[in-house]
Amino acid sequence: MKKLTSFLSIFSFLFLLLASVVNAQLNFYFVNVGMGNATYIELPNGQNALIDGGPSVKPIEAFLKSKNITHLDHVVLTHPHSDHYMGLKKVFKIATVSNFYDSKAENLSAKGDNNLRALAEAQGSVTHYPKIGEQLNWDPTVNIKVLNTCETDTPSKNNGEINNCSIVLKFTYAGQKVLLTADMEEPGERRVLSRFPASELQADVIQAGHHGSKTASSQPFLNAVRPRIAILSYGTDNKYGFPHYEVVSKLQAMNVLMYATNEQTQTLFLKPVSKSVRAAENAPQIQVKAYDANMPVFTDASYFAEEATAESANVSVEDAETVEVEMPSLTEVKKSMHGEKSRKSLEKLQHFSF
C-alpha cells in the first residue's frame, strides 16, 4: 500500500510538472499608456519584467493593480525620454524591483531620468548595463538577446542620439521571435544591420520603432526582420502624427498585421509547441488580442490632465521630450493619404478590436 501511495505521489508530481511545462507561455502586454511605451512580460518560469513605464503615473499603475503585481523581477529603462520613464517612478514606489536595466545614455535636457536611477538605488535594486550581443538570463527557456544600447557614457541633449541608445531586445521562445525596438531610429537600425546577420534579426513580431515614426522602420531593417505582426504604441490624436503614413504603408505592403495600443492594451501570447506541429501549421502559435480587465482607456487628454496633479508637480518641465521637427497632425496625415485602401488601413490600425 505504501508503495502504491508513493507511486501515485510521484506520478502526480510528474503529471503536474509536465502540465506546467505544457501550459508555460511567454506573454507580452503592450500597455495602453497614451503617447508612450510600456511592455509587461510574463516569463514561462514565473518571473516577470516591465520594459519602460509610459509618460505618466495612472496608466501603468492601473495596469499593475489590475494584475495584482507588487513585485517585478526585471525593469528596463530603454532610454531616458519621459514618455518611457515617467511611469517607472511610480512603479518603484508601489512595487519591489529586483533588477534594473539601463543604458549609459543621460538626457541633459531632463532631470527625471536621474531621479529614477536614484529611486532604483534607494530601493536596493541591482543595476545592470547590458552589452550588445549579451544574453539576458531571465529564463532558461527564453533566449533574450541585446541588439542595441549605448555601452559607454553618452550625455546628450540630442533626441535622435538618445533614441539610438535604446536598449533593443529580441526574445526567442519555442521557435517564436519577438523584437522590441523601443525608439531606435534609422541610424541605430543601420548599426544593428552592420553588427548582426539578417538571420539573427528575423522576428515574427516587431514593436515598431519610435511609435511608428517615419524616422524608424527603414525598409532595409524591415526586410531583415520580415515581421508578420507589428505592434504600434502611440496615443490617439498625438501631436507628432504617429504612426506616420510612410510606416503604415511599408507594413501594409509587406502584408504585416498591425495592432495599436491607443485604445486598449494588446496582449501577445506565445505557446510552446512541438516542431512537428509548427511545421505542419507553417506558423508560430501567436495570439494577439485586447487585454480585458476593466481597464480604463487612457487618452492624451487624461495624460496631460494628470501632469498638473500634485503627483507630478515636482517634475521639471525639462523632462518633456523636445520635438525638433514639426510633425503633421493625425488628421493631416489622413488627408495626405492616397487611395481607399490606405485610408482603411489606418482606420483599422486606430480602432482595431480583436
CA distance from start to end of the chain = 53
* Per-residue pLDDT tens over the stretch 152-203: 999 999 999 999 999 999 999 999 999 999 999 999 999 999 999 999 999 9
For position 289, what pLDDT does the model report? 66
Q: Using an 8 Å Cβ cutoff, are 154 and 161 in contact?
A: yes
Residue 339 is given by DSSP the state S
* Per-residue pLDDT tens over the stretch 285-344: 565 666 655 554 444 444 333 433 333 333 333 333 322 222 222 323 333 333 344 344
The model's confidence at residue 265, banded by pLDDT at 50, 70 and 90, is very high
Average pLDDT estimate for 244-248 = 96
Ranking 39-48, 97-106, 132-141, 265-274 by mean pLDDT, the lowest is 265-274
Domain 24-351 maps to which CATH number in 3.10.105.10, 3.40.50.1950, 3.60.15.10, 3.30.830.10? 3.60.15.10
Residue 19 pLDDT more than 50? no
Residue 248 pLDDT more than 80? yes
The model's confidence at residue 69, banded by pLDDT at 50, 70 and 90, is very high
For position 43, what pLDDT does the model report? 98
Please give the C-alpha separations between residue 121 and each of 99, 102, 115, 118, 283, in angstroms, as whole numbers. 10, 12, 10, 5, 43
Residue 120 pLDDT more than 60? yes
Beta strands in the chain (DSSP E): 26-30, 39-42, 48-51, 71-76, 96-101, 105-107, 126-128, 143-148, 154-156, 168-173, 176-180, 205-207, 229-232, 257-260, 266-270, 286-290
* Per-residue pLDDT tens over the stretch 74-98: 999 999 999 999 999 999 999 999 9
